[in-house]
Structure 1
Amino acid sequence: MPEFRVGRQDEFADGDKRLMIVGGVEVGLFRLDGDIFCWRNICPHQGGPVCQGQVFRRVLDVIDESGQQRGRTYHDSDKNIVCPWHGAEFDIRTGRHAGTGRLRLRAVATEIRDGEVYLHVDSDQ
């Protein structure tokens, strides 16, 4: 699988979201808590440009003792990318859809060597 250098690890600040074309494939690169996550820019729901969406903390419903919803709050560290076409939400770290395990983003293999970030992209997949 072809390897592409996309920059030094320290060039990507925490919270960064970068869109790029690597080996003819659109890729979204995200840096969270020092880790780098890369996904193909294709939403599994209907093919939208998922990596172009907004990043939000995961929404949590506040449920009282009787099972009634009493508002919302946000998770301190979980971050989701929200597809701009239909609002599908995916965990940036795992690529999993927030509501169902059936949908997930397609990962781009990422390697950090000597402070450099390399992506392994197969344009046929």
Structure 2
Amino acid sequence: MTDYLVCDESDIAEGGRRVVQCGQHEIGIFRIKGQLHAWHNICPHRQGPICQGHIYARVIEPVDERGQVRLLQYDEGDQHVVCPWHGYEFNLETGRCNGNDRMKLFRAEIAIRDGAIHVIV
């Protein structure tokens, strides 16, 4: 295994990310609810650059008593990244795909040493 120094822990703000090259691996590191989460930059659908997609709060479609959607709402506590190639959504904390339980992002190992983020691959 190889250890790559990425940046200071404080360099990734809440809701922010950093995508880095670690040897042959590209890794996206996100800060969600104060915690760092690292994912390999490969969408399990068609291997698109998932970590470079837009970050959104999960969309909720409230249905009224007639079964119709009135408007869209958002769950700010559930942040997702959306693959720029085909629109697949993944929870940034769990890596689970919204709408397809069989798909999940591949977590990357990180460590914090002396206030700096290291990726281990």
Does structure 1 residue 17 correspond to structure 2 residue 17?
Answer: yes
Amino acid at match of 1:99: G
2:3 is aligned with what amino acid?
A: E
Mean alpha-carbon deviation: is it higher for 78-87 or for 10-19? 10-19
TM-score of the superposition, structure 2-length normalised? 0.92
**Structure 2: gaps (5+ residues):** none
Instruction: Please state if 1:44 is matched with 2:30.
Output: no
User: Alignment identity in percent?
Assistant: 41
Cα deviation, residue 65, structure 1: 3.0
Q: Which residue number corresponds to residue 61 of structure 1?
A: 61
The alpha carbon displacement at 1:23 in A equals: 2.2
Larger fraction in strand: 1
Alignment of 1:1-125 (within 5 A): 1-121=1-121
Q: CA RMSD in A?
A: 1.3
> What is the Cα deviation at residue 66 of structure 1?
4.0
TM-score (norm 1): 0.89
* Structure 1 unaligned blocks of 5 or more: none
Q: What is the CA-CA distance between 1:71 and the residue it aligns to?
A: 2.0
What is the one-letter code of the residue matched to 1:102? R
Give the letter aligned to residue 48 of structure 1: G
Question: Deviations along 1:97-118, whole A, 9 cap, x unmatched?
Answer: 0112100111101122332211
